[in-house]
Amino acid sequence: MKRALVLALVALWALGETPPGPMIFRPADQSVIQAGPVSVVAKGPADAKLELDGKPVEAQHPAAGVFAAIITPTAGRHQLSLAGRSIQFFVGASGAPEGWKQFRAHPPAAVNCETCHAVNQGAWDFKGGTVAENCFECHQQQSFPKVHQHNPEVLADCQLCHNPHGSTAKFHLKMAKETACKQCHG
């Protein structure tokens, strides 16, 4: 079931479509976060309320339906919700639920949304013509062939396989490498 959902979302992203419904991009569900400020990124209905443990979170709206906030939750387990979508995360170095993994934000928290995004024809979009153009603003295009079997022109949409907002997975992969390869190579 979970694999089918991932494949359906990848298919939507491959077509340039946004998955239906609200999305909480950062932090990841069932992730462990270090104590201190936490960057939250989400997308949903413009009139929706972002909530932490049932209490409203003051968020910025760099574009319609985009939510960006910095929160400083206490140690322990928390629930972040937006328009019926919820994720759970744990703050602290010890006591996290078994199997939950460390979350790593991408790009680092010092980078703001406008580094990669801008309003384009009234919609929140990537600044460059392709996702890869944005990615290569920070990542070295020359080293790309050393870790990928395709050149950047073939894989112009990095987010098909990588989560651009961060994740608990190595290299911010959305799925196992073998699964990612099979998206195109059956």
Greatest alpha-carbon span in the chain: 46
**Range of the structural domain that residue 162 is part of:** 21-185
Among 18-22, 152-156, 157-161, the least confident range:
152-156
Number of domains composing the chain: 1
**Structural domain contains residue 2:** no
Task: Summarize pLDDT for 169-182 with one digit per residue, the tens.
Answer: 888 777 777 787 77
Which of 175, 136, 182, 177 minimizes the C-alpha distance to 5?
A: 175
**pLDDT over 70 for what percent of the chain?**
79
The structure tokens listed for 168 are 């608990």
pLDDT exceeds cutoff 50 at 154: yes
The reply to whether 5 falls in a domain is no
8 lies in some domain: no
| CB 156 within 8 Å of CB 132 | yes
Q: Does residue 14 form part of some domain?
A: no
Q: Return the higher-pLDDT residue of 58 and 183.
A: 58
The pLDDT value given to residue 51? 98
Tens digit of each residue's pLDDT (9 = 90 or more) over 79-116:
999 999 999 999 998 999 999 999 888 776 556 777 78
**Its pTM surpasses 0.85:** no
Q: Is the pLDDT of residue 160 over 90?
A: no
Residue 127, in any domain of the structure: yes
- For residue 6, tell me if it sits in a domain: no
CATH of the domain at 69: 2.60.40.10
Q: Is the pLDDT of residue 9 over 50?
A: no
Distances (CA, A) of 89 to 28, 50, 92, 118, 145: 7, 15, 10, 28, 35
CB-based burial of residue 38 (10 Å sphere; 0-12 exposed, 13-18 middle, 19+ buried)? buried
With respect to residue 174, please indicate whether it lies within any of the assigned structural domains. yes
Q: What is the mean pLDDT of the chain?
A: 80
Check residues 45 and 128 and name the one with the higher pLDDT.
Answer: 45
Give 63 or 77, the one with higher predicted confidence: 77
- Cβ atoms within 10 A of the Cβ of 58, count? 8
For residue 139, the model assigns a pLDDT of 74
The label of the residue with tokens 């196992």 reads 176
**Position 9 in a domain:** no
How far apart CA 2 and CA 56 sit, in angstroms, is 30
pLDDT per residue over 34-64, tens digit each?
A: 999 999 999 999 999 999 999 999 999 988 8
